[in-house]
Amino acid sequence: MDELIRAKNLTKRFGSLTVVDDLSFDLKRNEALGLLGPNGAGKSTLFGLISGDHQPSVGTVTFDGRDVTRLPPYERCRLGMGRSFQIPRPFGKMTVFENLLVAAAYSSGKSESACADLCVHILKRAGLHRKVNAQAGKLTLLERKQLELARALATQPKVLLLDEIAGGLTESECHELVDMIKEVNATGVAIIWIEHIVHALLAAVSRLIVINFGKLIAEGRPTEVMANRAVQEIYMGIEAE
């Protein structure tokens, strides 16, 4: 099976408000998929439906051939679904290394000692090997973003859900993070990435989907999607003739 994730007819209502509206898409194995849309388009809610933080009003989520629609987040994590959050959420009083150990041990069910070598390897990949014993709450913004990504990698995911991970970074920091994400994808980890920093997204993904008011507006190769008149009008504020 070439598809890792299949979202079918996803709808999420909060009372009378429909936030995700009959939305369907697939994610192939090893693919890097970008998700664009204006504020309030339903992107984070869609992530919640995929990761298990929300239950759909209608529709299904299939992961690696298994229906996970009603599974809680921790069970999806143990199946290989990792997620980072827009605002990093480390255990601030723990060290960087301890943060990774918690993620690796909890997701795998193994002892912390059995996960130690994996955590060392991931810290090197994330550029945090010099911060092993640093308190997580005292890291810079870039370092907290790197730790957020590293903690997700410590769960040994088949797919990473990245929620605006480049937000607030400088241009050079953004490039550094993009390079890391591309390296992760090159190892075979699929990616779905929500991001408002469009140039960062376009540097890392091979396909884009755009949503507005919870509906799918456009899907395809990044150059084609960004040239779409509806996308330019809705997302970029350019009036289409």
Q: Where are the domains of the chain?
A: 1-80+157-241, 88-156
| Cα–Cα distance measured from residue 220 to residue 10, given in angstroms and rounded to the nearest whole number | 19
Determine the pLDDT at residue 125: 84
Tokens of 117: 């070598």
Residue 28: partners with Cβ closer than 8 Å, 6 or more residues away: 2, 3, 4, 190
CA distance 63 to 73: 12
User: Which phi and psi (to 5°) does residue 185 adopt?
Assistant: -60, -35
Instruction: Report residues of the chain scoring pLDDT below 50.
Output: 240-241
pLDDT for residue 240: 44
Q: Residue 50: which of 198, 201, 185, 158 has the closest Cα? A: 158
Give me 127's structure tokens: 């550029």
What pLDDT score does 235 carry?
66
In CATH, the number for domain 1-80+157-241 is 3.40.50.300
The residues facing 35 across adjacent strands are 194, 209
pTM (predicted TM-score): 0.88
In the chain, % of residues over pLDDT 90: 63
**Rounded to 5, what percent of the chain is helix, strand, coil?**
40, 25, 35
